[in-house]
Amino acid sequence: MNQTLISSGEAFELGFFDFGNNKSYLGIWYHQIQPKTIVWLANRDAPINSSFAKLTITENGNIDILDPSETSIWSSNTSVPANHTVAQLLDSGNFVVRRENDENPENYIWQSFDYPTDTLLPGMKVGWNRTTGINRFLRSWKSNNDPSSGEYSFKMNIDGLPEFIIWHKETKISRSGSWNGKRFNGIPEMKGASIMHFDFHETSGDIYYSFGMLNISVYSRLTMNSSGNLQRSIWSPVAGIWSLYWNFPRDVCDNYGEKCGGFGVCDTNIFPVCKCLKGFRPRDERGWLDLQDGSGGCVRSSGLECGSDGFLALKNMRLPEGSTAFVDRRMNLSECGERCRRNCSCTGYANMDVTSGGSGCVIWVGELLDMREYSESEGGGQDLYVRAAASDSDLEESPTTRSSKNGSSNDNHVVKIVAITAGTCAGLITLSILVYLKRKNRQRLTKSIACRIGSKERTDGETTMDELDLPLFDFTTLAMATNNFSDANKLGEGGFGCVYKGKLPGGEVVAIKRLSRVSDQGIEELTNEVRLIAKLQHRNLVRLLGCCIEVEEKLLIYEFMENKSLDTFLFEKERSTELNWQLRLDIIRGIARGLLYLHQDSRFKIIHRDLKASNILLDEKMNPKISDFGMARIFGSDQVEAKTKKVVGTYGYMSPEYAMDGNFSTKSDVFSFGVLVLEIVSGQKNRGSSYTSSELNLLGHTWTLWKEGKALELVDESVGAKFLEDEALRCIQIGLLCVQEQKEDRPCMSKILLMLNSETSQLSQPKYPGFFIGKRKIEDESSSKQDDSMTINEVTITMLDGR
């Protein structure tokens, strides 16, 4: 317990310590500074309730902390096991594990710098490693005497325009403003820092901020304290104390968004501190003037006319909140302004990098939030251009319209005026033509899609429109909402394209499904999905909010599901523990309600045809919602079954009659539901429907356990013993009834829901499940190659991978 490890230059020390409460922690502190200043903790949330503890390196290269019973209470959990490893405390304060004979001493297997606590040291990084998925951030202590994880954190936000956010639990407290190539534009103190340098680094694999000292003998640290303040301190060896260099937030204008609202500007050099931009007025004038409450923000005094709008040129501004901003690093400021001018949804733009004349383009849509103006002497902020009506804007100073000021003769002025007038007229004529053609083209496309979505046949043979009140979105708006469809915003990928998280100009978070351009079924899927789901309203069906059809682009906009899809919980060991038994039962019942609505209670009888775990989305309260209606089909009121020669579905969920003969009905959806029930109960994925042994097939395995009286062995281990055996047996039996080989034996959804909700309803004994869909002859190796489709009984089956 009293043994410590000291770095070679005696700058830092590692060892166990306690706060006099008989709880031991492994930490790192400055070796030569008293009182002890802790900079890192290993087991901050798992202290040892003893004065005895041991630090050891295991055979696979992990660092473990052992309690008196030799039980590991903390481990480095090295992702790449390695033999012959050594642990070393560096003079930077970094505790590292590396291979003993590695020629590159900086090739670390594990390092404490990847897992900060409340302190950032020189050379330490805060930000994301996109390759490893490690998010390095600071989290406060709970109190000055309790180093466990507190309620405040300092994290990098990488959506849109990267910047740092101080959080209190899940609430934003302050933000740094974005990095402008020199400093964060919301921290002017960085400009005058002469004893240190700052680095912001962004590549496809890494995005982080770090700082370094110009004089390495000077100690400096950045800490997130238990009150939510970010503080930079310098050690004064003469006084023997830590001197506060600066802290953040500093004043009321650093409180995120709440002070001056949308389009409001906070400025501590005036009173009251909130003001509206030129061309704007307070939304709540009485509250603004009488109560000095600017939280309602500002609204425009003059209406905008896209094409003739100008821009307010604002200086020394902390740029607006940038998580939904659109960023293009290839554009200069002039190109950025032109792009903003052409997009009527754009409300402001700025340079991303102000060094070397400026580069990179940032564009905002919707309200501009959390702006602040600094004085020239403060030295913070940067230039920002805000869209305004032509009468309110600084047209002569806008980079997109600024003209040369050289030459002063009257003749030159006349020539310029004539040239500008002629050019403007020609430009307006050209612009009008382009706008007209674009509108006509969009009307044609919209009408075409509307006809395909909403037309229906009347009894007299005439075709009428069954109009849908479904908003059409602009593609540019959706591109900005998803940060140009960046991988960071990608939620999943299916057979017909990708789904992205997006934030609309009004602040609403949505899921945007972008159909693949190369998919020959893309437009069919879109029209089918819109036609079906636009008029369906049920709490267990995902809600369609709108669509976008622009030439080759086809997109659908849905409500955003915070917890993504069911398969991300069921089949991932780390997350399956979040699904307790009651939650699994509620999800099964919710899916059943949604399916019953489709089959019986909606205005159409709808067969989904692709019901699977990845198509069950979960909202913030884990309520299930059926999604992806691209494969769905409408039945007539008296129609029982339909037949297709092109079977499209997902391996493992298709019923035998659908896979073999192309016959589908409500009973084929029931089969898929049965597979889902057994997957939810077991936490195992059904590995297929054909050419597998029962041991590798969930349905066969369940059937075997049922016949042997061991059905409860199917229940997912992560549920533990916290479930009712009768409920589990009932769900398993219902699942087996749904996957019976003969469709006539399967119950309908109304009966299934009754069985799920009633403990007294009688259940029949299930018959043989339909987990074989045919046999094939394996003639040679070449005939066994996997393909996107296969043919059985002259029916083509296209298999879709789950998201």
DSSP structure string for 289-308: HHS---TT-EEESS---TTT
**Exposed (0-12), middle (13-18) or buried (19+): which is 485, by Cβ within 10 Å?**
middle
- Check residue 528 and give its pLDDT: 63
| SS3 of the chain: helix, strand, coil, percent, to 5 | 25, 30, 45
> d(Cα 548, Cα 513) in Å, to the nearest integer?
10
Strand partners, 98: 86, 108
The pLDDT value recorded for residue 524 is 61
Residue 236 backbone dihedrals phi, psi, to 5 degrees: -105, 105
CA distance 722 to 705: 21
Q: For residue 228, report the phi and psi dihedrals to the nearest 5 degrees.
A: 90, 15
In whole angstroms, give the CA distance from residue 83 to residue 75: 16
Length of the chain: 803
Q: Can you give the pLDDT at residue 517? A: 60
> Which residues share a beta bridge with 457?
463
Q: Are strands 264-266 and 371-373 parallel, antiparallel or unpaired?
A: parallel
- Tally the C-alpha atoms within 13 A of residue 450's C-alpha that lie toward its C-beta: 15
Query: Which one, of 527, 536, 489, 484, lies nearest residue 509 by Cα?
Result: 489
pLDDT at 431: 52
From the candidates 567, 610, 669, 716, which is the catalytic residue? 610
β-bridge partners, 210 = 199
What are the per-10-residue average pLDDT scores of the chain (803 residues)?
Answer: 87 89 89 94 91 84 88 84 85 92 82 96 92 90 92 91 92 92 89 84 87 90 94 86 88 85 91 90 84 87 86 95 87 92 90 86 91 88 93 54 37 47 54 49 44 36 40 84 89 79 88 72 62 76 85 83 92 89 96 93 86 93 90 83 80 84 92 97 75 61 92 91 89 96 94 88 89 37 36 39 38
The answer to whether 177 and 209 have CB atoms below 8 angstroms apart is no
Q: Which of these, 305, 471, 296, lies nearest to 391 by C-alpha position?
A: 305
What gap in Å lies between CA 442 and CA 136, rounded to an integer?
A: 46
- 573's CB contacts (< 8 A; 6+ apart) are 718
Q: Can you list the positions of beta strands (E) in 192-286?
A: 196-202, 206-213, 220-224, 230-236, 241-248, 264-266, 274-276, 280-282
Report the C-alpha gap between 642 and 99 in whole angstroms: 64
For residues 98 and 44, the answer to whether their CB atoms sit within 8 Å is: no
Active site residue 610: yes
How far CA 747 is from CA of 509, 638, 657, 737, 753, in Å, comes to 39, 18, 16, 7, 10
* Tokens (6 digits) for 68: 């008196």
CA 179 to chain centre: 22
Buried b / exposed e over 44-70, threshold 16 CB at 10 Å, is beebbeeeebebeeeeebbbbbbbeee
Q: Provide the pLDDT for residue 357.
A: 75
- CA dist 558 and 390 (Å) reads 36
Q: For residue 173, how far is the Cα from the chain centroid?
A: 20
- Please state, in angstroms and rounded to a whole number, the distance separating the CA atoms of residues 87 and 14: 11
Which amino acid belongs to residue 486? Answer: S
Whose tokens are 């059809």? That residue is 549
The dihedral formed by the CA atoms of 592, 598, 599 and 602, expressed in degrees to the nearest 10: 130
- How far, in Å, CA of 675 to CA of 461, rounded? 43
Phi and psi angles of residue 701, each rounded to the nearest 5 degrees, phi first: -65, -40
What is the H or E stretch that residue 428 is in? Answer: helix 410-454
What structural domains does the chain harbor? 4-248 (2.90.10.10), 254-397 (no CATH), 475-559 (3.30.200.20), 567-792 (1.10.510.10)
Contact 298, 280 (CB under 8 A): yes
pLDDT value of position 529: 67
**Contact between 576 and 683 (Cβ < 8 Å):** yes
